[in-house]
Structure 1
Amino acid sequence: MVAITLFGGTGRVGRALGSAILAADDLALAGILGKRHAGGDYGTLLGGDALGIEVVADVDAALAAPSDVVIDYTKPDAVKANVLSALSAGRHVVIGTSGLTAADYDEIDAAARAAGRGVLAAGNFSITATLLRRFAVEAARYVDDVEIIDYGPAAKTDVPTGTARELAEMLGAVAGPSSAVPIAQLTGAPATRGAALGGPRPVQVHSVRVPSYALSCEAIFGADNERLTIRHDAGASTAPYVAGTLLAARRVREWTGLRRGLDHLL
């Protein structure tokens, strides 16, 4: 039985995860962090009977009950501190919150190794989004020119999405030199060319934020007289993220340090 503390358990994905954990035979819910509904019973919040699990607003209070794994689906400005606190408390961690930088991940990896705990982070826990990354990385081995377009709803504040950031970092590690005019040589408004992310060959990422999108990400590859687009579109349901996140929670105790992407578990 894997005991789980759920950070962000009162949010959209968090509630779906909480319900799935409660329904699983091999998982147990140990604690819930959720500032907006602090003080309430989690079972009642989910629309069922009281469970005797109080929603708390403080990280230390959420970690007070023993558990094996912390799952974080909170906010970009809170996730790093949350993860470091969880590692300090001896928990393994699954990170579903986007917005962390490469430097943040380096710090988390060092903390996880020092604590002897495992961390799995993914910008997107859906199987099809994972396949987007895998197929795009394969394409980048044969086609040098690639850029990424990242789509999200108007209210989304972090740019780009975790999916797009991870994809850029993966492509930047294998892609060849771009044939595009270097940013420094452009005229007009160079910022319209997006942000260069990843390395050693950074990839241009363009974030679109307008109503009607859930989350979408596409990699556009261009060669002489031909073009390849590999795209993932998320629907309105949280279901695609739940299965991948719980798979990570079941497996994250198998290693020490940080691993990024659900690819490691496929």
Structure 2
Amino acid sequence: MIYQGVLTKMATEYSSPIQYYLVFENDFINMNQLLNKTLKFQFVKHQCLNCGLNKSIYRQGFCKSCFFDIPQAADWIMRPELSTAHLGKEDRDLEYEKKVQLQSHIVYLANSSNVKVGVTRKTQVPTRWIDQGAHEAIEIVEVPNRYLAGITEVALKDFVADKTNWRTMLKNEVKDENLVEWREKLKQYIPAEAMEYYIKNNSETQIDFPVLQYPTKPKSLNIEKTGTYEGVLKGIKGQYLIFEDDTVCNIRGNEGKVVTIEIL
């Protein structure tokens, strides 16, 4: 069977283990059902996730002109402390910015390769943690806008990491941490503006990934450069497909590329 479509972030369903789906325009694949099967990928062309044109992908699945124009790729996406919709100030599109920024946001701790702090919209819990390959996570504060979440993250990352080591995460070289204790320890560093939103009583969320074999020396696949790749799927963690030969494919990192996937 052969599927063709543009790669986008895999959809997930919170269960034990997590269920993963590659979603194309007219079809979808439950990736869990392909574990232990041989898959053949072939690069076809580019397709910008915004304009749809066959133009080289710059970042986040967008061509260069779209990346520097559309609100979905503005600086406040990656740096929420730069959000200004709560002040009525436009960056690229105030209507869009109000829609995204002026809603409940969570500042959280997640343990993937290490304990890290992060920000996500409340509607993206636990999806965001799954996408990062975290096996446990906990909310710290729930604030009414993205700006407050951003300044809280900035304050806390002086005392805890804000990045994931993808190789460590994929090799599963992680240890369980008491995130409740971490939350209590970091409470004193929460900015005064966000302190009233501190979450006092909650517990860790545990996440179980569908992995049969972890890679020992993960090597990243760029399907555009290789053209074709064939391998036995052994696991899925974060947004990575893990293959028997230690090749790993970051679906998020290959967004905007049209591929064929043949199940052999």
Q: Do they fold alike, i.e. is TM over 0.5?
A: no
- Structure 1 length-normalised TM: 0.29
The structure carrying a bigger helix percent of its residues is 1
The structure carrying a bigger strand percent of its residues is 2
**Higher relative contact order (CA closer than 8 Å, sequence separation 6+):** 2
- Structure 2 length-normalised TM: 0.29
